[in-house]
Amino acid sequence: MKHMMFWIVSVAITLAVSGLLIGALRAARLRDVTAAHSDIAVYKDQLAEVERDLARGIVTESEADAVRVEVSRRLLEADTRNTEDTADQKGQSGIGIAIVALCVVAGGLGTYAWLGAPGYGDMPMKTRLAALEEARAERPRQTAAEAEMRDDLPRLGAPDPEFLTLMEQLREAVAERPGDIQGLTFLAQYEARLGNYAAARIAQEQLIAAKGDAATDTDRLTLVDIMVFAAGGYVSPEAENVVHEVLRTSPENGAARYYLGLTEAQAGRADRAFTIWAQLLEDSPPSAPWVPVVRAEIFDVAFAAGVTNYELPATSSLPALSDDDIAAANDMTPQERAEMIQGMVGRLADRLAIEGGPPEDWARLISTLGVLGDTNRAQAIAAEAETVFAGNDGALALIANARAQAGIGE
């Protein structure tokens, strides 16, 4: 009944639009015919006026004849035009109406068949979002995705027989000592190298369980990497759960935020994916491994989210130098150039102090201050960064590496 009502309304609208167009065409033709009738009446009045002027002696016979010839010529032209317009209106009105009606109906139905979905019921936003969430909840599990992709994943060439023998020994050793952290670490790595991604995933899960509370975000993200690769780039519900575990303790973790955005994109929520990835690009240094991938994919996500004016952020956290700045720097003394660099570093430090930022920016600032010889300031900022990112193992590792580059101790 709903479908029937839809087509009834569609036909009614089509006929109404056709009627408006046909009425406009008929009105235009009627205006042409009316204009021709008006011209004929004017010329007849002019002929009568000439006869009256001749009778009163205002014009001579020869002048009257000249006027009669010119007015008669114009009268014949108007009459001919009137006859043709009338014939066209009568002969072509039916054809014109049929063409207009056909174009409107065919165009409307064709456009709907191309852009619409004949036979579908109403799909308001709330219903569509509910359908997406239902599909998300029922999407394939990790083991099913691994089974589907098992034969399509890249594998290494034939491994060395001696290596295979060592792998068998490693598997047996881990089976005998399932809590051996070092053995599980090697097993997960080498199973992945052999292309046994399902086995690598199981080993990494066992490693995290064996570590317990000592398991790090790096351990969990390594598991996510293996799971996603084993599933051919698909983020399963189990992988998503691990991503959320990382984000609960490290909400600024870039890799976890990338995977969260990928999860939303695969679930049909381009709006959420765009928001996550756009902010991730704003927060990430250009060297972050996820940046090239996000920069390559975010425009498709933005389009799907209805965002048409998105622009990529600058590719550096430090203020970019203009051509004038570079030219001026070439003419600077070493002292002036050092002062310019100090100003750029100072602006980055001010931004981090006021707005905060990702650990990569803090690490960059610490190492840069070390290069500039400002070790006291580098030490103070490193201590502040360690307070800000307390509990974030990945961030603290970056800060520790920056300390080493800056030449400052713990």
Section 5-19 average pLDDT: 69
What is the spatial distance between Cα 223 and Cα 379, in angstroms, rounded to a whole number? 34
Asked if 407 and 370 touch (Cβ cutoff 8 Å), the reply is yes
CA distances from 337 to 24, 51, 236, 340, 373 (A): 74, 102, 52, 5, 15
Domain for residue 137, yes or no?
no
What is the spatial distance between Cα 308 and Cα 311, in angstroms, rounded to a whole number? 9
Domain for residue 347, yes or no?
yes
Q: Last residue of some domain: 304, 338, 353?
A: 304
How many Cβ atoms from other residues are within 10 Å of residue 103's Cβ? 12
Domain for residue 160, yes or no?
no
Query: What residues make up the domain containing 108?
Result: 2-115
What is the spatial distance between Cα 26 and Cα 89, in angstroms, rounded to a whole number? 8
Domain for residue 132, yes or no?
no
Residue recorded with tokens 């707005």:
355
Same domain, 330 and 390: yes
Same domain, 333 and 286: no
The pLDDT tens digits of the residues spanning 152-164 come to 776 666 678 888 8
Domain for residue 138, yes or no?
no
Same domain, 276 and 346: no
Same domain, 299 and 261: yes
Same domain, 365 and 295: no
The pLDDT tens digits of the residues spanning 104-127 come to 667 776 777 676 666 666 666 677
Domain for residue 166, yes or no?
no
Same domain, 286 and 328: no
Q: What's the pLDDT at 189?
A: 85
Same domain, 98 and 175: no
Domain for residue 361, yes or no?
yes
Same domain, 44 and 109: yes
Q: Could you tell me the two tokens for 56?
A: 């009163």
The pLDDT tens digits of the residues spanning 239-293 come to 999 999 999 999 999 999 999 999 999 999 999 999 999 999 999 887 677 888 8
Q: Could you tell me the two tokens for 96?
A: 């014109």
Q: What's the pLDDT at 320?
A: 47
Same domain, 109 and 17: yes
Residue 208 is part of a domain; what is its CATH number?
1.25.40.10
Single out the residue of 321, 340, 355 nearest to residue 252, CA to CA: 355
The pLDDT tens digits of the residues spanning 43-92 come to 666 767 767 766 777 767 777 677 667 767 776 776 666 565 555 555 45
Our count of domains for the chain comes to 3
Same domain, 329 and 362: yes
Same domain, 226 and 327: no
Alpha-helical regions (H) of 212-290 = 217-230, 237-249, 254-266, 270-283
- When comparing pLDDT for 3 and 103, which is higher? 103
Q: Last residue of some domain: 273, 304, 335?
A: 304
Q: Could you tell me the two tokens for 1?
A: 């009944």
Domain for residue 356, yes or no?
yes
